[in-house]
Chain A
Amino acid sequence: MSTSLKPILLVEDNPKDLELTLIALEKSQLANEVVITRDGVDALDYLFCRGDYESRHNGNPAVILLDLKLPRLDGIEVLQVIRTTPALRSIPVVMLTSSREEADLLRSYELGVNAYVVKPVAFGEFVEAITDLGIFWAVLNEPPPGSARVARRSAQK
C-alpha cells in the first residue's frame, strides 16, 4: 500500500452495506487504504484525532464516504461539523445514501457536500458509481473544491 495515497474514510453503520461498499471499492481497484468508522461520533473522533484515534498520524483523508443515516450523529450533522471546522473544511465529502428524499439532498448541498449518491438497487451500477467517485476523489491529490454533480451517476429514472 502506497503511503503517498491518503486513506478513504468510510462511515457506514449497516454491516451489509459496509461489506458491499468495500467489495465495490475493491472492484474499482483503488489503491487507497480504507478507514472504517461505524457512526458519526466515531468518524469525528477519527477526524479530530481523539479517543481511539489519539495516536494516529495526523492528516485528513482523501475523501469521506459518508452514509446519511447513522446512529448517534447522523451524516448531515457530521457534514455540518466538517464544513464549519477550518482544518477539515476542504475534505471532499460524498454522501452515500439509500434515501431518495429530496429534503436530505437539498440539505446536503446546502452544507456543501461534494457529491450525493443514492445507492442504486442494481449492484453493477453501484460498483460503477463507486469507481467513478474513487477515480475522481481518491486518486487526485488536490481535489478541487466545489460541487461534483458530474459524479452524480445515481440511477434516478
Chain B
Amino acid sequence: MTSGHAEQAAAARDLLNACEREPIHVPGSVQPHGVLLCMDENLRIVQASESADIWLSHSADALVGRECAELLGESDMERLRTARGRADIEEAPLYIGVLTANARRFDGVLHRNDQLLYLELEPTRREQDMGFGGIYPLVRSFVSNLQSASSVDALCELAAQETKTITGFGRILVYRFDEDGHGQVLAERRDESYESCLGMLFPASDVPPQARELYLRNRVRLIADANASPSPLHPRDNPLSGAPTDLSFSGLRSVSPVHIQYMKNMDILASMSVSIIVRGRLWGLISCHNAEPRQVPFDARTACEHLGQILSLQIEANEERAQTQQRLELRRILVGLLSAIADRDDFVAGLMSSPTDLLAFAGAGGAAILFGGRCELFGDTPDEAEVLKLVGWLSAHSSNTVFSSACIDRDLPADVVPMGDTAGVMAVSISQVHRNYIVWFRPKVRRTVTWAGRPDKTATTAEPTMLSPRNSFEAWSETHTECSRPWSAGELDAALELRSAILTIVLRRAEEMAALAHELERSNRELEAFSYSVSHDLRAPLRHIVGYADLLRELEGEGLSDRGRTYLANVEESATFAGTLVDDLLTFSQMGRAALRPTQVNIRELAESVIKDLDAETAGRNVRWEFGELPVLRGDPAFLQMVMRNLLSNAVKYSRGREPAVIRIDGEDTATTHVVHVRDNGVGFNMKYVGKLFGVFQRLHRMEDFEGTGIGLANVRRIIERHDGHVWAEGETGHGAVFSFDLPKL
C-alpha cells in the first residue's frame, strides 16, 4: 500500500467507524413509495410522512391531529380497530388488508412500537385482500423442491431461484456470514447484464452491527429506489415519548446515505434483503439487486419472508444433522481413545497408541501431549521447543480449560507463534497446577479471496465513495491473516469431553494411589507397632531365659550331670539365637523406615574399617584380602557399612577351610552407576537358588555348617534398593561366589 492508499484506507476506516455508530433505526424519514401515519391509541394521527402529499393529497402537517376515520371508510376503520386489539402487532407488522383512501387502494400494514401505532400504506393494484392463497403458490414450488436439496449450498441455490421468480430482481445472492462476519456468496441467480458475485466475499464492515440488529428484528427490507429523496416525518420526533421515532419495524424506513452510496457504487438502484436467521443468530441474507428502481408488493415481500423462514429452518435442520453426524463421529473416536487409555496405566501411552485417532479426533494435522515433563509430538507439529514456548504462554495467559484459535498470527504474540505452516491451535489443559496439555495443530488454509466489486473501479467522488467495496476490501485485507480451518463447537466440546474423561481416569488412578498409600501407611504403622513390641516384649523374656540359665549354670553347674549341663547350654544357645534373630529382624524392618543421611563414602576406607572389625572372625585363619579400583560414591555411610560388613563377613564365613581364603573387593563404573563386587573362593552356591539368596530368612546351607540368621543379605538388598541401586550374585557350588551391588551416579 502506498502512503496515499494508506490515508485513503484510514479515511475509509474512519467512515466505517462512523457508520457503525449511525443510528439507522431512527432516520426521521421514510421512502417515498408509501405513507407512514403514526397514531395514538384513539387512532388519532400524531405524525405523518411528507409523502402523504403525493398519495393522500393532504400535507403531513394537515393530517397531524386529525382522526384516522377522516381518511378511511367505516369498514376499513373497523378492521383497523380489530387489528389494534391484537397482541401480535407488538413490534411485528400485521397485514390488515386493502384500504381505500383518497380514492386509491393501499396495502395496509399495522404495528405498535414505543406507544405509537404505525400504519403504513403502500399503493396497490390489488382489489382483494391478499390472502394465504396468494402467497402459497409462490412458496409451494420452493417447498416441494426442498426435499431433494441435500446440502446447504443446494438449499441456497433453490432459495435464490425462487426469490428471483417471486421478485423479478436482476440478481439474487444468497450469502452466509462466516465467524469473522464476512459474507460469503454461496448461491446466485442473475440476468446476463449483471456481474457474477458467486464465491465472493463481502467484508463484515459492509453490514455494521446495528444493521445486523435490524435484520434480526425486521426480516424483509426493501429499498425501492436509491435515487428517491427520503420523505421526512412531521413532526420529526415521536410526540408521545419525545424520542426520535423508532422505525425499526417499519417497512418504509428510509435508508442511510452511506448505504445508498454503497448501492450506487455497485450500480444498483433497488435492493431487497431477506434475513436468514438460524438459532436466533443472523446466519446470512438473501440479497436482491436491481439496476433500475423496483417495487415489490407487500405480498411478494411476505412470500420472500416466508421463503427465508423456511430456508432458515432447513439450514438449521441441515446444520444440526451435520453437527450430529460430526458429534457421533467424534464420539466414536473418543470412545476408541478412551478405551485405549483405560487399557493402560498411563493415559499418555494410551493416546500414543492410536495417533491416527488422536489427530482425526480434532481434524488436526498434528498434536502434542505434554504431561509430567514429557512432550510427545505426532504428525505435523512445530518443533518441541516451539510447542513448549506456546504452551508456556498459554498456561500464563489463558485461564480457560480449552483454548482455540484458527489464526495464531492474529491471536498470539509474535514471539510465541511457531515458524512454518501452523495457523490453528486448540489446547486443553489437563491440570490446574502443572503445564499438562493436549494440543492440536492445523495448517494454514490458502484461500483465494475474490472481492465483491470491480477491482478497476476507482473512487472519483468525495467521501462516501471511500466506502466502495473495493476500498473496504483493501482496509480489510490489511488486517486479514492466513488462518486454518476454524475449530467447530463440536470439536471444542469433544476436546473438553476428552479432557474430563482423562481427568476422571487420572483422578481415579490418583485416588487409587491415595487409597493404596493410605493402606500402606496403615500397615506401616501396624508394622512399627509390631516391631516395637517385638523389640521390646519379645527380647525381654529371651534375655531373662539367657540370664537365668547363665545364673543357674553359675550356681548349680557343678552339681549337674554332663547331660544336664548340655541341656542348659542348649537352652542358653537357643535363647541367644532367638534374641539375635529378633535383633536382626528389627534391623531389617528399621532399614525400610529409617531416613537415609547420604554423604560421600569412600568404599575402600569403608571396606578396610569393616575388615578390622572382622578380626575376631578371621583370627587364626589364612585370609588374603585383595583390592581393585574402588569408587567414592554418595550414600548413607552407616547403612553402607552394614552392607559391606554383611558381604565381607559372609565371604569370610563361606570361605572357611580354604587355604588361603582369597577375598577380592573390586569396583567398576558404567555410564550411570558405580558397581562394587565382593568375590570369594569359598563354597559358592547353586545358581538354581540365586532367586532366594536375598530373601528374608533364606538359607542355602545347613545351620550346623554355617551360623547365621539368614537375614544379612535381605538387609543388603533392602539398603541398596533404598539407595535406588540393585544387588545380584553369581556363584558355583564349590567354586566361590561374587556378590555385587550398584548405586546410581548422582
Contacts and interface: CB of A to CB of B under 8 A. Distances in A.
Nearest to B531: A101
Interface band, chain A: 20 to 34
Given A101-B532, A101-B535, A124 B540 contact: no
A121 B535 contact: no
A69 interface: yes
Contact of A122 (B544, B546, B548, B594): B546
Interface stretch (A14-22, A47-55, A81-89): A14-22
A122 B549 CA distance: 10
B576 A121 contact: yes
A117 to B, nearest CB: 12
Contacts of A97: 536
A149 interface: no
Given A101-B536, A121-B576, A123-B550, A16 B544 contact: yes
A157 B594 contact: no
B250 to A, nearest CB: 90
Contacts of A120: 543
A121 B541 CA distance: 9
Interface string B591-609: 0001000000000000000
B532 A17 contact: no
A121 B536 contact: no
B551 interface: yes
Given A99-B535, A100-B535, A101-B531, A121 B551 contact: no
Contacts of A29: none
Nearest to A155: B583
B544 A17 contact: yes
- Describe A's contact surface by its main secondary structure: loop
Contacts of B547: 16, 20, 23, 123, 126
A120 B544 CA distance: 10
Given A16-B544, A102-B594, A121-B543, A69 B536 contact: yes
A157 B707 CA distance: 15
A107 B536 CA distance: 16
Contacts of A122: 546, 576, 579
B590 A102 contact: yes
B536 A99 contact: yes
B551 A23 contact: yes
Contacts of B587: 100
B586 interface: yes
A143 B537 CA distance: 32
A141 interface: no
B546 A123 contact: yes
B542 interface: yes
Nearest to B536: A99
A124 B550 contact: yes
Interface in A110-157: 119-124, 126, 157
Contacts of A98: 535-537, 539-540, 543
Contacts of B549: 123
B580 interface: yes
9 contacts: A17-B540, A23-B547, A69-B536, A98-B535, A99-B535, A119-B539, A121-B580, A121-B583, A126-B547
- Which 6 A-B residue pairs are closest in the complex by CB-CB distance? A121-B579, A123-B550, A123-B547, A99-B536, A20-B547, A98-B540
Given A20-B551, A99-B532, A121-B575, 4 more contacts: A16-B540, A97-B536, A122-B579, A157-B583
Interface of A: 14, 16-17, 20, 23, 69, 97-102, 119-124, 126, 157
